[in-house]
């Protein structure tokens, strides 16, 4: 298995990994700082909501932007804006101004994330997507592992400003990727027409539609714990800021192993769809069982397991999307898929802020895990049936395989 551009695969992974380190460090630092200030669950929920609201609100515009504007222009201009935004965050002490700047920062994330995702199949080639995603997820996991742990140490020693300034510097990695990547994505009007821009919709692909519905439902059920988690670890289990950072890091450590496990499984879309149902169920059960922990160390193995499932799920999703979405429309797909997931995040964060004011953190975590299991029970069968239908269709004489790459490819510059 060879990549279309091995250099760009590793450069893309490094840039995102460095950016992830800064983002996770800043996000964890903000949550810890708000909790230490006694800002309450609603303030924690507000900063999390601000981090995803632009991704949901601007998805239709962002998808068209990513599919029309040169990727180098997007990455360099937006990356510079994000670095400036983080620097401004480091200079303010106002909670609500910080939240507003988080929303501005997330507007940039709404653009760069689908840009990176749409570039990946171009730099990896149709058969290298799974391995390239594992490499990228390794870099992301290293950044995500180091970020929360560093945040716990830095907030305890220096307060909020230093983590935010480091995050500003890491956004320059996005700028560097924009300037150094040889592969550039800029879809022409002819390519969009050839791909059937007006005709192709996600709802026409039953497997992608069912997968999107399942992921959205599960994220809605489980991501309430993003708000409740800091209170559960710090107050219910008596963990320190560093221990909270290590719990967060445990999930991403699991993602690292799960991504490589998935990369070694070159399966059909139908097999991947069925595996995803099982993996989402295990993820929900891991969260459910963590609610019964009595000390912090009991959460670690469960978060490792949940993270491993999450890492494999992300890899399989990327492979399925690269196979089934026309190349000229990948920016639009990833923007809209991200909007669904982040809309679920948004509702979950708001619910978390309300629930933590009324219930014990342990009860909320257990309820989230149970809701996740119910989400898989409700939406998993549709994905299972769609996977079976995909397998049957691909076995019919004269039917093209969903593994076949799209004939439309975005241009690349040396």
Give domain 6-186+201-394's CATH superfamily. MFS general substrate transporter like domains (1.20.1250.20)
Q: Structure pTM?
A: 0.74
Three-state secondary structure of the chain: CCCCCHHHHHHHHHHHHHHHHHHHHHHHHHHHHHHHCCCCHHHHHHHHHHHHHHHHHCHHHHHHHHHHCCHHHHHHHHHHHHHHHHHHHHCCCCHHHHHHHHHHHHHHHHHHHHHHHHHHHHHHCCCCHHHHHHHHHHHHHHHHHHHHHHHHHHHHHHCCHHHHHHHHHHCHHHHHHHHHCCCCCCCCHHHHHHCCCCCCCHHHCHHHHHHHHHHHHHHHHHCCHHHHHHHHHHHHCCCCHHHHHHHHHHHHHHHHHHHHHHHCCCCCHHHHHHHHHHHHHHHHHHHHHHCCCCCHHHHHHHHHHHHHHHHHHHHHHHHHHHHHCCHHHHHHHHHHHHHHHHHHHHHHHHHHHHHHCCCCHHHHHHHHHHHHHHHHHHHHHHHHHHHHHHHHHHCCCCCCCCCCCCCCCCCCCC
Structure tokens at 149: 């742990």
pLDDT at 393: 56
Are the C-beta atoms of 65 and 111 separated by less than 8 Å?
Answer: yes
Residues 6+ apart with CB under 8 A from 318: 117, 120, 129, 130, 133
pLDDT at 199: 56
Are the C-beta atoms of 50 and 164 separated by less than 8 Å?
Answer: no
Neighbour tally for 94: CB within 10 Å: 9
Tokens 């079976």 correspond to 388
Q: Which residues of the chain have pLDDT under 50?
A: 190, 395-414
Structure tokens at 265: 């499984």
Rg (CA), the chain: 20
pLDDT at 266: 58
CA–CA gap between residue 358 and residue 356 (Å, rounded): 5
Neighbour tally for 76: CB within 10 Å: 17
CA–CA gap between residue 255 and residue 261 (Å, rounded): 10
pLDDT at 410: 33
pLDDT at 11: 92
Task: Please choose, from the candidates 306, 312, 320, the residue with its C-alpha nearest in 3D space to the C-alpha of residue 259.
Answer: 312
CA–CA gap between residue 237 and residue 229 (Å, rounded): 11
Are the C-beta atoms of 75 and 185 separated by less than 8 Å?
Answer: no
Q: What burial class does residue 394 get, using C-beta atoms within 10 Å of its C-beta: 0-12 exposed, 13-18 middle, 19+ buried? A: middle
Domain ranges of the chain: 6-186+201-394
Are the C-beta atoms of 186 and 71 separated by less than 8 Å?
Answer: yes
pLDDT in tens, 80-129: 999 999 999 988 888 889 889 999 998 998 899 889 888 888 888 777 88
């Amino acid at each position: 298995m060879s990549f279309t551009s091995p250099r760009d695969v590793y450069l893309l992974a490094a840039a995102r990994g460095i950016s992830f380190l800064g983002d996770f460090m800043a996000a964890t630092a903000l949550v810890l700082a708000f909790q230490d200030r006694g800002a309450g669950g609603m303030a924690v929920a507000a900063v999390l909501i601000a981090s995803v609201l632009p991704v949901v609100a601007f998805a239709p515009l962002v998808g068209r932007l990513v599919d029309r504007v040169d990727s180098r222009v997007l990455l360099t201009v937006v990356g510079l804006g994000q670095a400036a935004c983080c620097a401004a965050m480091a200079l303010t002490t106002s909670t609500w101004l910080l939240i507003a700047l988080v929303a501005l920062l997330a507007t940039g994330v709404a653009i760069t994330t689908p840009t990176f995702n749409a570039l990946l199949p171009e730099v990896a080639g149709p058969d290298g997507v799974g391995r390239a995603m594992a490499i990228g997820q390794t870099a992301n996991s290293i950044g995500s592992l180091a970020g929360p742990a560093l945040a716990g140490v830095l907030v305890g020693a220096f307060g909020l400003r230093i983590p935010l300034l480091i995050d500003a510097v890491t956004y320059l990695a996005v700028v560097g990727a924009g300037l150094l990547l040889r592969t550039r994505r800029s879809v022409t009007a002819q390519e969009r027409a050839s791909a059937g821009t007006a005709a192709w919709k996600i709802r026409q692909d039953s497997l992608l539609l069912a997968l999107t519905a399942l992921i959205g439902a599960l994220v809605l059920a489980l991501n309430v714990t993003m708000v409740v988690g800091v209170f559960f670890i710090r107050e219910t289990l008596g963990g320190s800021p560093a221990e909270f950072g290590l719990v967060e890091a445990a999930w991403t450590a699991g993602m690292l192993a799960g991504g490589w496990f998935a990369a070694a499984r070159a399966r059909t879309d139908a097999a991947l769809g069925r595996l995803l149902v099982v993996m989402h169920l295990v993820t929900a059960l891991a969260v459910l069982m963590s609610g019964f922990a009595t000390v912090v160390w009991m959460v670690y193995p469960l978060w490792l397991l949940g993270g491993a499932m999450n890492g494999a799920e992300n890899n399989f999703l990327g492979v399925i999307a690269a196979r089934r979405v026309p190349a000229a429309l990948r920016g639009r797909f990833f923007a809209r898929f991200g909007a669904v997931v982040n809309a679920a995040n948004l509702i979950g964060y708001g619910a978390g802020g309300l629930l933590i004011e009324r219930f014990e953190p342990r009860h909320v975590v257990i309820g989230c895990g149970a809701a996740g299991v119910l989400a898989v029970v409700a939406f998993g069968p549709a994905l299972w049936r769609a996977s079976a239908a995909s397998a049957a269709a691909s076995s019919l004489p004269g039917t093209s395989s969903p593994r076949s790459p799209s004939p439309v490819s975005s241009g690349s510059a040396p």
